[in-house]
Structure 1
Amino acid sequence: MTLSSSKPLPDETAVPLWRDTRFTLLLGARVVSVLGNGFARVALAFAVLALPGASPGRLSLVLACQALPQLLFVLVGGVIADRMSRSALMALADVLGAGAYGALAAMVLTGVAPLPAMCVLAALAGTATALFAPASEGLVPLLVPKDRLQRANGLLRMGTNTSLLLGLSLSGVTVAAVGAGWALALNAVSFVVSAALTARLRVPRRPRGSSSGWTELKEGWREFASRQWLWVVVAQYALVVAALNANAGVLGPLMATQHLGGARSWSVIVSAQAIGTVAGAGLAARVRVSRPLLVAVLCTFPAAVPITLLALAAPLWAIVLAMFASGLASDVFGVLWATTIHREVPEHALSRVSSYDWFGSLSFAPLGLLVAGPTATAVGTGRALAGCAALITLATAAALLSPQVRNMRSPQGS
C-alpha cells in the first residue's frame, strides 16, 4: 500500500467542480437534505422515547419499520433508476420523504401519535430512501468525468458531512429546548428544498429497452455477482451495518439515557463522529492509494472502538474521541468504495448494482434494530453493545481473506 498527497490528482488543473452548475445543484440538494436528517437522527429516537408507554421495544419497532422498506424496495429503486431520469426519481423520493416526516412531526407536536401510525410513516420514509439511494449513486458519473470521480465523491461527502455535523450539533439542543417534533418538521422542510434543487438538474430520461424489469434485475445481479470484491465487502457490511444501526438507533441512545445524561450527551457523541467524517472525506478526496479496497476495509475496524467504550460505560470524552476517529475512517472507506464502484461497474447498470450493494448492506439492518431493544432488556445494554463491537471486528477480518479485496489496484496508484 502506498499513500501520497504530494502528487496532484489528474483533475487539479481542470475547471473547479464548484463551477459546474449541475454538480453544485446536486451538492446543494444533498447538503440541505442531510441537514434535516441530522435533526431527524436524534429527534426520532427521543420522540419515541418521550411518548407515553415508551420502551426499548417500541423504539426498535419504529426504527425497524423505517429500515425494512429500504431493504424491500431498494432493488426496485435500482431498476427504475436505470430506466428513467435519475434526477426525477430523486425528486419524487424527496417529496415522499417530506410528506412522511411532516406527518410524523405533526403527530409528535400534537401529542396524537399512535404506534401503528408512526410505524407506517416511518416505513414511508424508508421507502423514500430506497428510491433515492440507487438513483443518487448512478447520477454522479453522469455529471462528472471518470478521472474526477474521487474528487467529486470527496466533495459531496465533505459537504454532506459538514451539513450532518451542523444538524447533529443543533439537534440535541433543539430537542431539549422545543421538543423533537420541531426537529422532525425541519427535516420535512429540508426534503422539500432538496426536491426543488434536484428537479432543476433535468438529467434526460434514459432510453428504455425492450427487456422487462425482471430481466434487467437479473442482469444487474450478474454484474454484481461476477465481482468477488463487490459481494465480499457487501457481505461484510451486512453485519457491520446491522451492528452500527443497533448502536446508533437504539443501544447508544439507551446508554446515553441511562448513564450519560440523555439527548445532549448523545448529540455530542454523534457530532464528534460527524466532525470525523468531514475530515475523512477531505482526506480521501486527495489521498492516493494503490490498493483502495484494502485501505477501505481496514478503515472499518475503528467503528468497533466507540461501541466498546460505550459498553464499558467509559467517560464521555473517551467515547467522543473514539467516535471522531471512527467517523474519519468511515468516510475514507465511503469515498474509496464509491469511487471504485463508479470506475469498475458499467454506467448503464450502475444504479442496479448500487441497489444490490444497498440491499446486501441493509439486509440485516431491520433485524439489528428489531432485536436491539429486547436484547438490551434481556442481557443489559452494555453486553448488547459489546456483541455489536465483536460482530464488526469479526466481519471485517473475514473480508480481508478475499484476494481481490487485498490486491485490487487503482488506475492512478498502480
Structure 2
Amino acid sequence: MTLGTRPPAAARVRSTAHRLRALRHHRFRRFLVGQSTSLLGSGMNTIATTFAVLRLPGGGADAVGVVMAARILAVLAVLLLGGVLADRIGPRAVMLTADALRFASQGALAVLLLTHSARVCEAVVLAVVLGIGEGGFGPGLTALVPDLVPADELADANSLLQITQAVASVAGPGLAGVLIAVSDAGTVVAVDAVSYGVSVLALAGLPLSRSAAPRRGLLTELGRGWQEFTSRTWLWVTTLHISLFNFALWAPFLVLGPALAQQRLGGAGAWGLVLALYGIGSIAGGLALLGRNPGRALAWSVAASAGWAIPAAALAVRMPLAWVAAAALLAGAGAAVCSTLVTTVIQRDVPAEVRGRIGAFDSLGAFALGPLGLALAGPVSGAVGAERLLGLGALWQLTAVGVVLALPSVRRHDAR
C-alpha cells in the first residue's frame, strides 16, 4: 500500500455511507419507517382478504373477484382528485388522510372478521374505502419525496423506497400465510390496519408540506395538470409505453402464468418461486442503483423495461422452471431500475406546483388498461394459445422499447 492510499475497508465504508446518504435526513428516515411498515401490511392484505372472503357466507371465487375489482376501480376513480388535492393543500395532508382511511377500513374489516359478523357486501364497501385511500396516497408520494431530501439524492431515496416495496412484496405474503395458519385471516387484516396506523404517526410527525397551487376550480386545475403532462413528449410517451405493456404483456403473464405453472412447472409452489425471485430481483435492482446518478436516466429506465419480456418469453418457448425463475429475477431487477429512474426524472423535471397531478395522470395512464388486459387474457389465449399470446406480448415489449428509445425526447433527455 502506498502512502496516502485509503485502506480498502475505509473505502468500502465510505462507499456504503454514500449509497445510504438519503438516510442522513431525519424526515426521510421517519417517512421510510412508516412507508415500509404500511407496505408490509399491504403485502399481507391481498392473501388475508382473499381467504377471509372465501370463508364468508355467500363467499367464493366470484365474491373475491368482486371485492378486488371494487378496490381497483376505487383507486382509479380517485387518482386524479388525489393529484389535485396534493397540489392544492400539500401532499402530506392528503397522504395523512388517505392512510387514516386505510386504517379505518382495515380496522373495521378486522373487527367484523374477528367477531364473525362480516358479510360480503360489507367487505365490498370497505374495499372501496381502502381503494379510495390508496388512490389518494399515490400522487402524494410522488410529490412528497422531493420535500424530504435534496434533489441530488432523489435517486437514492427512490431506490430505498423501491427496495422496501420489493421486500414487502416477498415477505408480506409469506408472513400472512404463517399468521393465517396459526390464527385466522381477521388477525392478519388487523395487523394490516396497525401498519397503516404506524404510517399515520410517521406522516403526522413531518412538517406541513407547502401548498404550491392556487385554488381554482377542479376542472381548471385538472386542465392545467393535463397541459403540463401532454407538453412533455417524453412523459406521455413513457406513460403510454407502460400502459400498453400492462395490457399486452403483464396482464396475460399474471393470468396465464399460474395456469402454465400448474400444467408443466410443478403447480402453485413453482409459481410462488417465480414471483419470489421477481421480488428478489427488484431488491437487487434497487440496491444496484444506490449511490448512482446515471446520465440519460430516462433512456436507462426505458431500456430496463425490456426485462419484463424475459419471463413471458421463457414461458412461451416452454423453458423449464429454473430458466423461468431466472428470467423473473432479471425482470424484477429491470422493474426496479425502470420504476426508480422514471420516478426520479419526474420529480426533478416537473414543477413542484403540479407534481401531484402529473403523478396522478402518470399512474392512471399506466394502469388504466390493466383490468381490461386481465379480463381479455383468458378468452384471447383460448383462441390463439397461451404460449403464443405470451410470445406476442414479449415481442411487443421489445419492439416498443426500441421505438421509444428512438425518440430524441427520450433518448437525449437528461434531468440531472
Structure ranking higher on relative contact order (CA contacts 8 Å, 6+ apart): 1
Compared CA separation, residues 164 and 141, structure 1 to 2 (3 A): same
Residue 346 of structure 1: aligned partner: 351
Compared CA separation, residues 364 and 21, structure 1 to 2 (3 A): same
Determine which of 102, 107, 121 is the counterpart of 1:97.
102
Q: Post-superposition shift, 1:330?
A: 0.7
Identity %: 36
Residue 8 of structure 2: aligned partner: none
**d(CA) in 2 for partners of 1:289 and 1:349?**
25
Residue 39 of structure 1: aligned partner: 44
Residue 364 of structure 1: aligned partner: 369
Identify the range of structure 1 (401-410 vs 331-340) with the bigger mean alpha-carbon deviation: 401-410
What SS class does the counterpart of residue 302 from structure 1 fall into? helix
**d(CA) in 1 for partners of 2:43 and 2:276?**
9
Residue 219 of structure 1: aligned partner: 224
**d(CA) in 2 for partners of 1:102 and 1:229?**
41
Residue 128 of structure 1: aligned partner: 133
Letter in 2 for 1:163: A
What SS class does the counterpart of residue 88 from structure 2 fall into? coil
Are the equivalent residues in 2 in contact too, given 1:48–1:59 (CA < 8 A)?
A: yes
What SS class does the counterpart of residue 206 from structure 1 fall into? coil
Q: Compute the TM-score of the two structures, normalised by the length of structure 1.
A: 0.83
After superposition, the CA RMSD in angstroms is 3.5
Residue 196 of structure 2: aligned partner: 191
Matched, 1:408 2:413: yes
Letter in 2 for 1:35: L
Q: Post-superposition shift, 1:261?
A: 6.0
**d(CA) in 2 for partners of 1:244 and 1:187?**
31
**Which stretches in structure 2 are left out of the alignment for 5+ residues?**
1-10
Compared CA separation, residues 299 and 13, structure 1 to 2 (3 A): closer
Letter in 2 for 1:120: V
Q: Post-superposition shift, 1:35?
A: 0.8
Letter in 2 for 1:142: D
Residue 3 of structure 2: aligned partner: none
**d(CA) in 1 for partners of 2:313 and 2:367?**
22
After superposition, give the CA deviation of every residue in 1:112-132 in whole Å (9 maximum; x if it has no partner): 765554443333222211100
Are the equivalent residues in 2 in contact too, given 1:168–1:270 (CA < 8 A)?
A: no
Q: How does 1:394-405 map to 2 (within 5 A)?
A: 394-405=399-410
Identify the range of structure 1 (355-364 vs 185-194) with the bigger mean alpha-carbon deviation: 185-194
Matched, 1:269 2:258: no
After superposition, give the CA deviation of every residue in 1:344-365 in whole Å (9 maximum; x if it has no partner): 1111111111111111112112
**d(CA) in 2 for partners of 1:316 and 1:207?**
51
Q: How does 1:355-394 map to 2 (within 5 A)?
A: 355-372=360-377, 385-386=390-391, 388-394=393-399
What SS class does the counterpart of residue 82 from structure 1 fall into? helix
Determine which of 189, 200, 206 is the counterpart of 2:205.
200
Paired positions, count: 403
Q: How does 1:291-306 map to 2 (within 5 A)?
A: 291-306=296-311
Letter in 1 for 2:333: L
Compared CA separation, residues 149 and 110, structure 1 to 2 (3 A): same
**d(CA) in 1 for partners of 2:259 and 2:48?**
14
Matched, 1:246 2:246: no
Q: Post-superposition shift, 1:177?
A: 5.7
Letter in 1 for 2:321: L
Residue 3 of structure 1: aligned partner: none
Residue 148 of structure 1: aligned partner: 153
Determine which of 216, 219, 232 is the counterpart of 2:237.
232
What SS class does the counterpart of residue 132 from structure 1 fall into? helix
Compared CA separation, residues 177 and 265, structure 1 to 2 (3 A): farther
Identify the range of structure 1 (378-387 vs 113-122) with the bigger mean alpha-carbon deviation: 378-387
**d(CA) in 2 for partners of 1:113 and 1:314?**
44
Are the equivalent residues in 1 in contact too, given 2:159–2:340 (CA < 8 A)?
A: yes
Identify the range of structure 1 (197-206 vs 22-31) with the bigger mean alpha-carbon deviation: 197-206
After superposition, give the CA deviation of every residue in 1:264-304 in whole Å (9 maximum; x if it has no partner): 54443322112111111121233343321211111111112
Matched, 1:318 2:323: yes
Kindly name which structure, 1 or 2, has the bigger radius of gyration based on alpha carbons.
2
**Which stretches in structure 1 are left out of the alignment for 5+ residues?**
1-5
**d(CA) in 1 for partners of 2:382 and 2:178?**
28
Residue 312 of structure 2: aligned partner: 307
Are the equivalent residues in 2 in contact too, given 1:276–1:323 (CA < 8 A)?
A: yes
Letter in 1 for 2:240: A
**d(CA) in 2 for partners of 1:229 and 1:47?**
43
**d(CA) in 2 for partners of 1:94 and 1:263?**
33
Letter in 2 for 1:38: G
Identify the range of structure 1 (163-172 vs 196-205) with the bigger mean alpha-carbon deviation: 163-172
Identify the range of structure 1 (128-137 vs 213-222) with the bigger mean alpha-carbon deviation: 213-222
Q: Post-superposition shift, 1:26?
A: 1.0
What SS class does the counterpart of residue 89 from structure 2 fall into? coil
What SS class does the counterpart of residue 290 from structure 1 fall into? coil
After superposition, give the CA deviation of every residue in 1:153-176 in whole Å (9 maximum; x if it has no partner): 222222333333322443444456
Are the equivalent residues in 1 in contact too, given 2:21–2:153 (CA < 8 A)?
A: no
**d(CA) in 2 for partners of 1:201 and 1:248?**
40
What SS class does the counterpart of residue 290 from structure 2 fall into? helix
**d(CA) in 2 for partners of 1:231 and 1:105?**
40
